[in-house]
């Protein structure tokens, strides 16, 4: 092409991959054209095409272009005169032919072209790719890679809301032409250097929150002497990390001010906002480069634009469906399900007429009703499983309030109340349609809502908190777990009680790890790394890692559970972390912390667990929780008393329903006993036993067990006795729960005790304690109460045959202080009394071995117990006298009195 007939292709300053890709595509449409950057391009772009793909571009430096020789100007990825640098001077020429290929929304000061292809897509190169395809212009694999890279970057790997069908089609076509996804992935997944990390931290710390027309907008302002590449990338990183709706980042770098804006909601059109600053972009992504203004001036102008541009929120009265579809409290689950099907809805308000108005009682969801029917509870009235005390809004409530109440209250449906009149409802789907702009989404025939809805988990970086609260060993183990999981492509999380107790400031080193992947495979890999061994359970996808010093870690594959019938053991399926947490018993146990290196210490809270911990509330995750697993009732009571929490009103009503429906009869006795045993192992089980009685659950143990004043006093007495015994610091261990269980069944005779042990499948070892030895202990206690005081040897003889738990039970059961003191004396002074004399000593005295040896040693022990002997010499002297009397046959005492005779010699 002659020098005086140039076609040049250009784009906006600070060109990104989409701009680069669009120029390459345009070059194929205009053979012989030159690619000219309007200014210094971003470093990653320059390095990329100069070092790797420069041969594809027919480039020229802007300094070498004679502007008067330019006949045609081709603009890609922009129409803004302020964004093409020195080339904007060409626009003054009337003889200049302008062609435009752009995907940005129309703006008032757009350049007008002689030929324009403009439509809103995620990436400008998607438009040009479609044209190349229509014209059947060949594309090499390297060219396809660059063009596809532009699509991936500008659509956020197809995650940005601006992504369109045309972007997908263009990418698919480029893949068919050999686009290399490995190259694309490496360039898109850019690592952040130390300077960028520092800048990102400054951006987060400098964030200011503005409420503009009920929309929360973040503005952050930073300053640096040097130009930092990938500033837009850092802004995108921040909006994800901080879970922001809209952000405007203002940065002074070198002598210029850069504004990068991102939005995830319709109400904030960042392209329109930034246009007031001379920039441009899309509804969800925009940028501007500003000269001759200070940071303060830029911020002021930006805020002015925000207040003019940000749309006000839509209100409840604009979103609600009216009139609301309702059902009565006594309608059966079967009939309510028919109503849901008839109207193709997923939730029903439950109301009844009162004083001529519909009085709202609660709501019930399709999920709950279908589970109830699955468990053959279709005849039960909906009032038994409805959620009560629902959050409500007034007609003028904005989306912030609607979103907060639906998400934080975990409601499927939100009633709208106007002057005590029920006027309409807003469903979770209504809200989602606005938040994610899915206007065509319907609620028919979708999966279970509690599992389906893409509710954003609350996240928080708690690394500093973990460093303060956890030991070096535990922190090291958790980091190692994350590293090993990352090596094999799995996600690793610490979950459950460990995380809960972290926020309750309670010590807990029981590590429960959930792996998004094969938990057993991970456990094997980790155990090899640290020199531990594992026990694996393939049926449940779980494993226990056991360290050489005995420390254990429980590992499970992320899973979900479903129940074939009420009280059944769960059927386990592989799942994700969210579904794994959803299967858990209570919201407070659904916290998880990510362990993979890149996200180590990020707390995940899908179900408002931290809110319930703060409010000290025990709440189930869904209304049929106790139908599926009635043992959760016992855990609810145990956690309530352990933490000083309260069972939520709805959860309490669901417990009452489970008792009324007698779901516990289907539970195996072994499962009931396992939960009861854990309650009895608590520091103070008495309040939990009282709560069991409040709900009518002591009858699950046996109908004859009644809570009365005497039993409560007995439990309190056990607590005092055990506290006293623990202060003795005796190394011998004992089972606290056994003492409490002995107390609980004290009123039961041998026949009833046997039935209880049979029902609970108690092992023979403990059955002997509860059904036989307990009654011997009761007789011994009665004897002591009638015969004290007695000599030490007698007290020793009476008590030494009983296990520690039985003796503590006797000490707690007696009301006589003298008996308590006697048992205390036995534990403190007598129980571990031993003699020093041996059989060899007796043989040296010339005594033939036989039954007499045991008799002499018993006599010596009796004398030591009674305080008559202190040393080995005392025992030898005493034994010689005893032997002398035995040999002379001078002692005519009977077997039971021989020792007494010696005592009094």
Residue 824 has pLDDT above 60, yes or no: yes
Average pLDDT over residues 135-156: 92
Percent of the chain with pLDDT strictly greater than 70: 90
Structure-block tokens of residue 240: 């994800």
Confidence of residue 891 (pLDDT cuts 50, 70, 90): very low
* Alpha-carbon distance values, 230 to 15, 97, 151, 258 (Å): 11, 33, 17, 12
Please, what is the Cα angle at 829 between 828 and 831, to 5 degrees?
A: 85
Please, what is the Cα angle at 71 between 69 and 73, to 5 degrees?
A: 115
Burial class (CB in 10 A: 0-12, 13-18, 19+), 492: buried
Q: How far apart are CA 535 and CA 122, in angstroms?
A: 51
Average pLDDT over residues 635-659: 93
Which residues, 6+ apart, have CB-to-CB distance to 535 below 8 Å? 543, 544, 546
Query: Are the C-beta atoms of residues 694 and 662 closer than 8 Å to each other?
Result: no
Which residues, 6+ apart, have CB-to-CB distance to 503 below 8 Å? 591, 610, 613
Confidence of residue 793 (pLDDT cuts 50, 70, 90): very high
Q: How far apart are CA 43 and CA 57, in angstroms?
A: 17
Q: 783 by DSSP, 3-state: which?
A: helix
- Contacts by 208-213 with C-beta closer than 8 Å and gap 24+? 210/303, 210/306, 212/306, 212/307, 212/310, 213/267, 213/307, 213/310, 213/311, 213/312, 213/313
In which element (H, E) is residue 210 found?
strand 207-212
Q: How far apart are CA 118 and CA 186, in angstroms?
A: 30
Chain centroid to CA 37: 49
Which pLDDT score, from 0 to 100, does residue 282 have?
81
Task: Give me Rg for the CA atoms of the chain.
Answer: 39
Q: How far apart are CA 580 and CA 560, in angstroms?
A: 5
Residue 890 has pLDDT above 50, yes or no: no
Give the number of C-alpha atoms closer than 13 A to the C-alpha of residue 246, restricted to the C-beta side. 26
Average pLDDT over residues 318-337: 88
Residue 249 has pLDDT above 90, yes or no: yes
Which pLDDT score, from 0 to 100, does residue 630 have?
92
Residue in 766, 590, 618 with CA at minimum distance from that of residue 691? 618
Q: How far apart are CA 283 and CA 779, in angstroms?
A: 85
Which pLDDT score, from 0 to 100, does residue 436 have?
57
Which residues, 6+ apart, have CB-to-CB distance to 574 below 8 Å? 541, 557, 558, 559
Q: Return mean pLDDT, the chain.
A: 86
Average pLDDT over residues 695-718: 92
Residue 897 has pLDDT above 70, yes or no: no
Q: How far apart are CA 81 and CA 12, in angstroms?
A: 9
Which pLDDT score, from 0 to 100, does residue 452 have?
32
Which pLDDT score, from 0 to 100, does residue 48 have?
52
Which pLDDT score, from 0 to 100, does residue 900 have?
38
Residue 292 has pLDDT above 80, yes or no: no
Average pLDDT over residues 136-140: 94
Which pLDDT score, from 0 to 100, does residue 252 have?
85
Strands (E), 355-510: 357-365, 387-388, 413-418, 421-427, 458-461, 491-495
Q: Among the listed ranges 94-98, 550-554, 633-637, 898-902, which one has the minimum average pLDDT value? A: 898-902
Which of 110-119, 206-215, 661-670 has the highest average model confidence (pLDDT)?
A: 110-119
Q: What is the 3-state secondary structure (H, E, C) of 47-73?
A: HHHHHCCHHHCCECCHHHCCHHHEEEE
Which pLDDT score, from 0 to 100, does residue 903 have?
44
Confidence of residue 54 (pLDDT cuts 50, 70, 90): low
Average pLDDT over residues 617-642: 91
> For strand 115-118 and strand 97-102, is the pairing parallel, antiparallel, or unpaired?
parallel
Query: Are the C-beta atoms of residues 453 and 432 closer than 8 Å to each other?
Result: yes
Q: 850 by DSSP, 3-state: which?
A: coil
Residue 286 has pLDDT above 50, yes or no: yes
Query: Are the C-beta atoms of residues 274 and 294 closer than 8 Å to each other?
Result: no
Please, what is the Cα angle at 880 between 879 and 882, to 5 degrees?
A: 60
Can you say whether the dihedral through the CA atoms of 652, 657, 660, 665 is positive or negative? negative
Give the number of C-alpha atoms closer than 13 A to the C-alpha of residue 315, restricted to the C-beta side. 6
Q: How far apart are CA 131 and CA 337, in angstroms?
A: 52
Put the strands of the sheet holding 542-546 in their side by side order.
458-461, 602-605, 592-594, 491-495, 511-516, 552-557, 542-546, 533-537
| pLDDT tens per residue across span 488-497 | 988 899 999 9
Which of 323-327, 788-792, 895-899 has the highest average model confidence (pLDDT)?
A: 788-792
Q: Among the listed ranges 93-107, 170-184, 641-655, 878-892, which one has the minimum average pLDDT value? A: 878-892
Residue in 43, 46, 35 with CA at minimum distance from that of residue 11? 35
Structure-block tokens of residue 624: 């049929």
Q: Among the listed ranges 20-29, 353-362, 367-376, which one has the minimum average pLDDT value? A: 353-362
Alpha helices in 669-708 (DSSP H): 669-680, 686-694
Chain centroid to CA 672: 27
Residue 474 has pLDDT above 70, yes or no: yes
Structure-block tokens of residue 719: 């607590």
Query: Are the C-beta atoms of residues 336 and 327 closer than 8 Å to each other?
Result: yes
Q: 18 by DSSP, 3-state: which?
A: helix
Q: What is the 3-state secondary structure (H, E, C) of 888-903?
A: CCCCCCCCCCHHHHHH
Phi-psi region of 230 (alpha: psi -120 to 50; beta: other; left: phi over 0): left
Exposure b/e, 286-302, CB count within 10 A at least 16 = b: bbbbbeebeeeebbebb
Burial class (CB in 10 A: 0-12, 13-18, 19+), 555: buried
Which pLDDT score, from 0 to 100, does residue 149 have?
92
Which pLDDT score, from 0 to 100, does residue 541 have?
85
pTM of the complete model: 0.54
Residue 572 has pLDDT above 50, yes or no: no
Q: At what angle do helices 428-435 and 399-408 cross, to 10 degrees?
A: 130
Q: How far apart are CA 546 and CA 527, in angstroms?
A: 8
Confidence of residue 520 (pLDDT cuts 50, 70, 90): very high
Average pLDDT over residues 21-35: 94
Q: How far apart are CA 9 and CA 33, in angstroms?
A: 7
Residue in 142, 110, 175 with CA at minimum distance from that of residue 25? 142
The verdict on whether omega for the bond into residue 366 sits within 30 degrees of 0, i.e. cis, is no
Backbone angles phi, psi at 310, to 5 degrees: -65, 130
Query: Are the C-beta atoms of residues 125 and 21 closer than 8 Å to each other?
Result: yes
If one compares 385 and 430, the residue with the highest pLDDT of the two is 385
């Amino acid at each position: 092409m002659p020098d005086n007939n140039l076609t040049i292709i250009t784009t906006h300053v600070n060109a990104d991959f989409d701009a680069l890709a669009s120029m390459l595509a345009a070059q194929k449409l205009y053979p012989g054209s030159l690619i000219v950057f309007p200014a210094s391009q971003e470093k990653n772009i320059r390095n990329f095409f100069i070092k790797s793909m420069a041969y594809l571009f027919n480039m020229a430096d802007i300094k070498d272009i004679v502007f008067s020789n330019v006949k045609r100007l081709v603009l890609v990825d922009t129409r803004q005169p302020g964004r093409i640098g020195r080339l904007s001077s060409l626009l003054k020429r009337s003889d200049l032919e302008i062609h435009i290929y752009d995907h940005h929304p129309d703006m008032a000061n757009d350049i007008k072209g002689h030929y324009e292809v403009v439509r809103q897509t995620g990436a400008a190169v998607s438009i040009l790719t479609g044209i190349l395809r229509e014209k059947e212009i060949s594309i090499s694999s390297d060219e396809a890679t660059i063009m596809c890279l532009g699509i991936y970057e500008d659509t956020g790997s197809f995650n940005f809301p601006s992504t369109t069908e045309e972007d997908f089609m263009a990418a698919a076509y480029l893949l068919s032409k050999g686009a290399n996804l490995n190259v694309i992935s490496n360039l898109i997944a850019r690592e952040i250097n130390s300077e960028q990390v520092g800048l990102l931290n400054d951006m987060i710390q400098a964030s200011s929150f503005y409420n503009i027309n009920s929309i929360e907008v973040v503005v952050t302002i930073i300053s640096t002497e040097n130009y930092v590449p990938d500033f837009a990338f850092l802004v995108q990183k921040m909006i994800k990390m901080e879970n922001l709706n809209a952000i405007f980042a203002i940065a002074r770098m070198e002598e210029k001010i850069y504004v990068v804006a991102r939005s995830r909601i319709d109400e904030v059109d960042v392209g329109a906002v930034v246009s007031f600053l001379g920039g441009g972009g899309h509804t969800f992504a925009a940028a501007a480069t500003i000269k001759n203004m200070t940071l303060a001036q830029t911020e002021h102008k930006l805020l002015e634009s925000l207040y003019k541009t940000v749309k006000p929120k839509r209100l409840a009265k604009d979103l609600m469906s009216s009139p609301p579809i309702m059902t009565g409290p006594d309608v059966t689950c079967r009939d309510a399900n028919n109503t849901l099907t008839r109207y193709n809805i997923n939730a029903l308000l439950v109301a009844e007429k009162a004083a001529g108005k519909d009085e709202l009682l609660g709501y019930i969801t399709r999920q709950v009703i279908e589970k109830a029917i699955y468990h053959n509870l279709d005849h039960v009235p909906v009032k038994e499983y409805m959620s009560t005390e629902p959050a409500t809004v007034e007609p003028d409530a904005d989306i912030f309030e609607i979103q907060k109440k639906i998400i934080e209250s975990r409601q499927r449906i939100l009633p709208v109340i106007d002057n005590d009149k029920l006027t309409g409802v807003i469903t979770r789907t209504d809200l989602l349609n606005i938040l994610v702009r899915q206007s065509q989404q319907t609620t028919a025939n979708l999966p279970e809502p509690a599992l389906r809805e893409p509710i954003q988990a609350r996240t928080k970086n708690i690394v500093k908190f973990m460093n303060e609260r956890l030991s070096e060993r535990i922190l090291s183990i958790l980091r190692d777990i994350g590293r090993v999981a990352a090596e094999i492509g799995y996600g690793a999380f610490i979950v459950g009680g460990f995380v809960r107790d972290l926020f309750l400031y309670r010590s807990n080193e029981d590590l429960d790890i959930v792996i998004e992947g094969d938990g057993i495979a991970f456990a094997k890999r980790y155990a090899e790394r640290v020199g531990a061994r594992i026990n694996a359970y393939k049926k449940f996808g779980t494993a226990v890692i056991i360290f050489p010093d005995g420390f254990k870690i429980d590992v499970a594959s992320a899973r979900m559970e479903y129940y074939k019938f009420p009280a059944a053991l769960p059927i386990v399926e592989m799942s994700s972390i969210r579904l794994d947490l959803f299967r858990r018993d209570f919201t407070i146990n659904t916290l998880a912390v990510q362990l993979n290196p890149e996200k180590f210490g990020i707390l995940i809270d899908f179900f408002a667990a931290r809110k319930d911990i703060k409010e000290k509330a025990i709440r189930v995750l869904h209304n049929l929780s106790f139908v599926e697993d009635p043992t959760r009732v016992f855990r609810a009571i145990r956690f309530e008393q352990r933490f000083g929490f309260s069972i939520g009103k709805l959860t309490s009503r669901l417990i009452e329903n489970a008792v009324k429906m007698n779901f516990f009869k289907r539970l195996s006795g072994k499962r009931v006993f396992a939960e009861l045993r854990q309650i009895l192992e608590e520091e103070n089980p008495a309040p939990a036993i009282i709560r069991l009685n409040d709900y009518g659950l002591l009858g699950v143990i046996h109908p004859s067990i009644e809570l009365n004043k005497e039993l409560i006093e007995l439990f309190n007495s056990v607590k005092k006795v055990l506290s006293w015994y623990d202060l003795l610091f005796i190394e011998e261990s004992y089972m606290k729960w056994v003492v409490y269980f002995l107390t609980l069944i004290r009123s039961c005779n041998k026949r009833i005790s046997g039935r209880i042990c049979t029902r609970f499948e108690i092992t023979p070892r403990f059955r002997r304690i509860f059904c036989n030895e307990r009654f011997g202990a009761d007789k011994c206690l009665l004897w002591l109460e009638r015969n004290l005081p007695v000599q030490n040897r007698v007290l020793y003889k009476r008590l030494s045959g009983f296990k520690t738990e039985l003796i503590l039970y006797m000490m707690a059961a007696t009301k006589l202080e003298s008996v308590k003191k006697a048992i205390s004396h036995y534990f403190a002074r007598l129980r571990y009394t031993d003699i020093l004399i041996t059989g060899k000593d007796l043989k040296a005295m010339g005594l033939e071995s036989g039954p007499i040896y045991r008799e002499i040693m018993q006599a010596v022990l009796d004398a030591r117990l009674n305080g008559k002997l202190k040393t080995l010499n005392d025992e030898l002297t005493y034994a010689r006298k005893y032997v002398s009397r035995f040999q002379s046959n001078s002692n005519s005492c009977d077997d039971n009195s021989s020792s007494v005779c010696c005592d009094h010699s």
